[in-house]
Amino acid sequence: MRKRFSACSHVLIFCFATLLVVHSAQERKPIGRSGVTAIDVGSRGQTASITVRTIPLTKSDAMFPATWTWSDQIVAIQQLTISINGEMVFVPSSVYVDLVEPKEMLVSFDKGTFILEIHGADASESYFVRIYFDRRSVKRRMVYSSLDPRKPTQDSRYFPTEIKEK
């Protein structure tokens, strides 16, 4: 009886500890309509710090999307920075430059990779994007329509460029 109780208590402790690790490695935050929104998440000795800088754009701005015809003003992501344990990760502008009306970001950690998820826009234009990165680089960006979140509408891969001397 004592061995069974001990084994059960160890299983319960393991399950509770696993829940704590999963919960601590996931953070969610609303993105401001102007200025900087920052979020930190840590897991397995790594802390990722993500900063999103947003700016409002009007139709007279050169960066205003021509296809956005139903509003005179939008919010765009001007800059996305990522660092892990204080070391900057290179983020290509193609990862974020087309993301408008961002509402919320969620950061999680799974199998050695951080995942930044940004939700944006609304109604038929609503989307979410998953950006996969590790301490070296951004690896992948997948964009989904919120109308059909089962499959991505875009899937981009990023590979590091190496310059070797001859």
Task: Render pLDDT for 98-108 as a digit per residue (tens, 0 to 9).
Answer: 999 999 999 99
pTM higher than 0.85 for the full model? Answer: no
Predicted confidence band at 118 (pLDDT cuts at 50, 70, 90)? very high
What residues does each domain of the chain span? 28-157
Mean pLDDT (whole number) for 21-34: 77
Question: How far apart are the C-alpha atoms of 95 and 92, rounded to whole Å?
Answer: 6
Mean pLDDT (whole number) for 1-16: 44
How many other CB atoms are found less than 10 A from the CB of residue 127?
22
